[in-house]
Chain A
Amino acid sequence: MTSVNMRGWRWMAAGACALALGAGIAAQQKVLITGAGATFPQPIYEKWFSEYNKLHPQIQINYQPLGSGAGIRNLTQQTVFFGATDGPMTQDQMLAAPARILHLPTVLGAVVPIYNVPGVTAEIKFTGTVLADIFLEKIKKWNDPAIAAANPGVTLPNVDILTVHRSDSSGTTYIWCDFLGKVSPEWLKRVGVNTAVNWPGGIGGAKSDGVTAAVKQTPGAIGYVELVFALQNKLAYGQVQSADKEFVKATIESTTAAAAAAAAKMPADFRVSIVNAPGKGAYPVSSFTWMLFYEAPSDKAKAKVMVEFMQWALTDGQKFAAAIGYAPLPPAVITLELEALKKIKTQ
């Protein structure tokens, strides 16, 4: 009786071993990686992850668009493998993290002014100072001489300006304020740069849709949205004067041009603002968006997978960007990044 029982146990043990082994092999093959962060690059990231999954079916990358702040918090608390942000981490945030974090630009975005001026069909041209003074509520009418000076031949009406900003804190607001702060010392002093600021006036619309709806419905309104959003919704938007005193319309090309100018003096950690970049045809309200990685992650297998993914995203992956409205990185920046990727320890 005992021997029968023993034999039974032995069989079961063998079966359990086989099961465990099988599960072990399956686990080795299937890699699940999660990240969280900025909402702005979500469409391109989703596209990349699904395309990459087609090439490597065993690799599944999940991305939660919780917002840049939440992305940084989650990465710092190590609840996700990678983070993503529209504004580089501050020095304080870097120090608060448990280990060294690497910033890697993935694509570029731009922010454009949208407006609703009765009777004006031409593209309005804005200098940086004019935009800052409008959002500081110092320029109150559309026929203000400062606006008219940049728009010869356009008849601007005597209509009150209503400024519309994002009520939800957002990377879009950060980029917009970053630019206004670069061109207007008064903006930097009175308002500052952040994902949410104390606006001098105007109204807040919830998300890009809220800003767009408010601008469309209110004669005299001016707001700002991501270039992607303006392109997808076929919104008309104005030109902005660049650092080279040239009026530039935001396009995929002019956004990439802004980054190309910055590549020459790129800091080693890629934490750089490219608003008001010099160079011909560079759109001034442009910005990188970053993915964030620990330089020495504890899970080396995942690190290897993500490094390979980034090598793909920075090369083959870039061609998906323009079709969904993101500006691809200039080649010079990609070269620097492929070099920087080697900092991530995969063994």
Chain B
Amino acid sequence: MAQRSQAGAGDGLFRAATGAFALILVALVGGIAFVLWEGSRASISSFGLQFWQTSTWDPVAGQFGAAPFIWGTLYSSILALLISTPVALGIAIFLTELCPYWLRTPLVFLTELLASIPSIVYGLWGIFVLVPAVRELQLALPDWIRALPLFSGPPVGVSLLSAALVLAIMIVPFTSSVAREVLKAVPAAQREGAYALGATRWEATKVALHFARTGIIGAIMLGFGRALGETMAVTMVIGNTPRALWSLFAPQYTMAAVIANEFAEANDALHISALVEVGLVLFVITLAVNLSSRVLIYSMTRERRPKRKAAVRPAEASA
């Protein structure tokens, strides 16, 4: 109590200042939501829920349905997540648990280097290296596989698979750096305890992974969020064709890509409004993904016994 009255004024100011900064964040998110809502009103009143369900995107006729973009965004991001998660976790585990000391710094440096490459560079690499390779891969597949719906279509190279691969490479460094920090924050006592009980290295790692699981889910979701919004690299390799198909080799389209592609030259008010509504849909989906990951983490931490709750904090903090 005595301490409080001494430092009262400074503390209050500090609290008010940091609180104001935090409020700016809330205001920003609210502002974005409002602007998106305001800008898409013409489109919402014209198409309503149809916008989410129909797949005709015809700027000439003024018919707009975003279903293929929603499909393409979710499909490519989930596929990228499936590819990148094992790799990213493998990197994180190797770096924290197994890597010899002299190799650690260069490897960490390299993963962080991957994160700092601009996405347009990934896109160019995608066009000139990955896309031809995917095309060759498709041609090399036997006919009966190419007849399956998952692999059908003409061999054009630009495809959902190309986009998912580029995305996977782009999100690996994000997921792995966060997962590494989370694993590093696991108290040494956890591993030592496991070893003391006669655990092998793999078993001790499992203990650490279990301890850090909420943080690791946070790391994966961070990657997912990035994949949902990535624009340049994706539009350069996905083929930009608004058709929702299962085929990995079919050219498709994403929400971020259609906004980037069409916004600059869009003349018609309804066209612009429809593009803004695509932005709104993307915003809502990103929000939903983040919320569901929060719920997942919450339900995981709640089942823990109270005495372990305190130790979870560092993991959550870095997520």
Residues of chain A touching chain B, judged by Cβ–Cβ distance below 8 Å, are 66-70, 72, 90, 93, 160, 162, 167-171, 191-199, 202-206, 209-210, 213-214, 217-218
- Which residue of chain A lies nearest to B251 when distances are taken between CB atoms in the complex? A203
Q: B157 CB to closest chain A CB, in angstroms?
A: 6
Q: In the complex, are the beta carbons of A214 and B266 less than 8 A apart?
A: no
- Which residue of chain B lies nearest to A219 when distances are taken between CB atoms in the complex? B155
Show 30 A/B contacts (Cβ-Cβ < 8 Å), sorted by A. Answer: A67-B264, A68-B267, A69-B266, A72-B267, A90-B267, A167-B235, A167-B240, A168-B260, A168-B261, A169-B59, A169-B261, A191-B60, A192-B60, A194-B60, A196-B262, A198-B56, A199-B241, A203-B240, A203-B251, A204-B239, A204-B240, A205-B158, A206-B261, A210-B127, A213-B127, A213-B131, A214-B156, A217-B131, A217-B135, A218-B156
Chain A residues with Cβ below 8 Å from B303 are: none
- Which residue of chain B lies nearest to A168 when distances are taken between CB atoms in the complex? B261
Q: In the complex, are the beta carbons of B264 and A66 less than 8 A apart?
A: yes
Interface string of B252-295 (1 = CB under 8 A from A): 01000100111011110001000000000000000000000000
Q: A49 CB to closest chain B CB, in angstroms?
A: 21
Contacts A67-B264, A167-B235, A168-B265 given; 9 further ones with Cβ under 8 A?
A66-B264, A90-B267, A162-B154, A162-B156, A193-B60, A196-B271, A203-B239, A205-B158, A217-B135
Q: B54 CB to closest chain A CB, in angstroms?
A: 12
With the chains together, A203 CA to B261 CA distance in Å? Answer: 14
Q: In the complex, are the beta carbons of B265 and A69 less than 8 A apart?
A: yes
Q: In the complex, are the beta carbons of A195 and B240 less than 8 A apart?
A: no
Question: Given the known A-B contacts A197-B59, A198-B58, are A205 and B262 also in contact in the complex, defined by CB atoms under 8 Å?
Answer: no
Q: In the complex, are the beta carbons of A198 and B135 less than 8 A apart?
A: no
With the chains together, A198 CA to B59 CA distance in Å? Answer: 7
Chain B residues with Cβ below 8 Å from A214 are: 156-158
Q: B144 CB to closest chain A CB, in angstroms?
A: 20
Q: In the complex, are the beta carbons of B262 and A168 less than 8 A apart?
A: yes
Chain B residues with Cβ below 8 Å from A204 are: 239-241, 251, 253, 261
CB of B13 within 8 A of chain A?
no
Chain A residues with Cβ below 8 Å from B61 are: 192, 198
Q: In the complex, are the beta carbons of B266 and A217 less than 8 A apart?
A: no
With the chains together, A169 CA to B257 CA distance in Å? Answer: 12
Q: A134 CB to closest chain B CB, in angstroms?
A: 15
Chain A residues with Cβ below 8 Å from B174 are: none
Residue A196 contacts which of B131, B158, B257, B265 (CB distance < 8 angstroms)? B265
With the chains together, A194 CA to B267 CA distance in Å? Answer: 9
Chain B residues with Cβ below 8 Å from A198 are: 56-61, 63
Q: In the complex, are the beta carbons of B156 and A203 less than 8 A apart?
A: yes
CB of B236 within 8 A of chain A?
yes
Total A-B pairs, Cβ < 8 A: 98
Q: B82 CB to closest chain A CB, in angstroms?
A: 24
With the chains together, A167 CA to B235 CA distance in Å? Answer: 8
Q: In the complex, are the beta carbons of B265 and A218 less than 8 A apart?
A: no
Interface string of B148-180 (1 = CB under 8 A from A): 000000111110000000000000000000000
- Which residue of chain A lies nearest to B127 when distances are taken between CB atoms in the complex? A213
Chain A residues with Cβ below 8 Å from B123 are: 206
With the chains together, A68 CA to B267 CA distance in Å? Answer: 9
With the chains together, A322 CA to B210 CA distance in Å? Answer: 68
Q: B32 CB to closest chain A CB, in angstroms?
A: 21
Residue A170 contacts which of B59, B265, B271 (CB distance < 8 angstroms)? B265
Q: In the complex, are the beta carbons of B135 and A218 less than 8 A apart?
A: yes
- Which residue of chain A lies nearest to B264 when distances are taken between CB atoms in the complex? A67
Q: In the complex, are the beta carbons of A93 and B240 less than 8 A apart?
A: no
CB of B132 within 8 A of chain A?
yes
Of the candidates B131, B156, B265, the one having the most CB atoms from chain A within 10 angstroms of its own CB is B265
Chain B residues with Cβ below 8 Å from A69 are: 264-267
With the chains together, A162 CA to B239 CA distance in Å? Answer: 12
Q: A334 CB to closest chain B CB, in angstroms?
A: 28
CB of B128 within 8 A of chain A?
yes
Q: A135 CB to closest chain B CB, in angstroms?
A: 14
Of the candidates B158, B241, B262, B271, the one having the most CB atoms from chain A within 10 angstroms of its own CB is B158
Interface string of B225-259 (1 = CB under 8 A from A): 00000000001100111000000000101000100
Q: B193 CB to closest chain A CB, in angstroms?
A: 54
Chain A residues with Cβ below 8 Å from B267 are: 68-69, 72, 90, 93, 195
Residue A169 contacts which of B135, B158, B266 (CB distance < 8 angstroms)? B266
Residue A206 contacts which of B236, B241, B265 (CB distance < 8 angstroms)? B236
With the chains together, A228 CA to B61 CA distance in Å? Answer: 31
Question: Given the known A-B contacts A69-B265, A169-B266, A206-B261, are A197 and B58 also in contact in the complex, defined by CB atoms under 8 Å?
Answer: yes
- Which residue of chain A lies nearest to B258 when distances are taken between CB atoms in the complex? A167
Q: In the complex, are the beta carbons of A206 and B240 less than 8 A apart?
A: yes
Question: Given the known A-B contacts A193-B60, A206-B236, A210-B127, are A169 and B156 also in contact in the complex, defined by CB atoms under 8 Å?
Answer: no
Chain A residues with Cβ below 8 Å from B135 are: 217-218
Chain B residues with Cβ below 8 Å from A202 are: 241
Q: A206 CB to closest chain B CB, in angstroms?
A: 5
With the chains together, A170 CA to B265 CA distance in Å? Answer: 6
Of the candidates A68, A162, A213, A214, the one having the most CB atoms from chain B within 10 angstroms of its own CB is A213
With the chains together, A191 CA to B266 CA distance in Å? Answer: 16
Q: In the complex, are the beta carbons of B251 and A206 less than 8 A apart?
A: no
